[in-house]
Amino acid sequence: MALFTTEVRFPDAGSMGEILVHHRAPGESQAAQRTLHVPLQPEVEGLQEVTVSLHQSATTAYDMGTKYNNWFSECLGYDVMLVYLGGNLRPVLGNVAPKAAGVAGAKGSSWISTIMSSLLFPRKAEEKDRITFADVAQFLVVTEASLDDVSSRLAGDLKMDITKFRPNIVLSGSHTPWDEDFWGELTINTNDNSTFQMPLTQNCPRCQSINVDYATGGQGA
């Protein structure tokens, strides 16, 4: 999967928007990469519905069809299916769901508070928390202190590439590595003095993908 990269083209006057998926096979140059164009918001009418279960949290998705499935299958070397979530959502997993944590969400009217509220609390309070295809949460938080600790374990002057952990939020200022494993909540302060409380509902162990060499797709640093 390290040999796939994506590019988002947002809607404008002449386009409904699309996602460009690029694939470069091991040993190939950048010029030899293949590109697939995927609609940013596919039309689901006529698409076959399939059940997708992630960590025993199931939902309905749409099979994007032969064109897309064949492209990914050829790149990966085995049969796969590209599915689109559409308006469907999955039950939230994790040790503590956001609403169960008693978090009210945003305090204030900043743009970041509005965005975060819509992502974390998109439904009425009496309804259960729901999520997309992410494992257990919309955001992954790491600290620079923990990254430095990982780098210190590598041979020579090699530094760990933080993008391999796929974080959404990288925090500085924590002096002790792995402190974030024990945090229950983040408070985000904005420029207009409003705040937002983000519950941290689950620790997220990383798989062996962090050892993959992005250049070759093989195991390495």
pLDDT, residue 102, reads: 54
107 and 79: one domain? no
User: pLDDT under 70 in the chain at which residues?
Assistant: 94-127, 220-221
- Residue 78 domain-assigned (yes or no): yes
pLDDT at residue number 94:
66
Residues 138 and 177 in one domain: yes
Task: Note the pLDDT of residue 145.
Answer: 96
What per-residue confidence (pLDDT) applies to 47? Answer: 97
* Number of domains within the chain: 3
pLDDT at site 221? 54
Q: What is the pLDDT at residue 85?
A: 96
Looking at residue 104, its pLDDT comes to 42
Asked if 110 and 187 sit in the same domain, the reply is: yes
Q: Does residue 64 sit in the same domain as residue 77? A: yes
Category of 23 on φ-ψ map: left (φ > 0), alpha (ψ -120 to 50) or beta: beta
Residue 188 maps to a domain? yes
On whether both 75 and 2 belong to a single domain, the answer is no
Q: Residue 58 belongs to what domain range?
A: 43-88
Please indicate, yes or no, if residue 158 is contained in any of the structural domains: yes
pLDDT at residue 111, as a whole number: 44
**128 by DSSP, 3-state: which?**
coil
Q: What integer pLDDT is reported at residue 31 of this predicted model?
A: 80
Closest CA to 173 of 191, 186, 154: 186
Q: pLDDT at position 106, please?
A: 45
Does residue 55 form part of some domain? yes
199 and 159 within one domain: yes
Residue 216 included in any domain: no
Tell me whether residue 218 is in a domain: no
- Same domain for 160 and 178, yes or no, is yes
| Residues 79 and 47 grouped into a single domain | yes
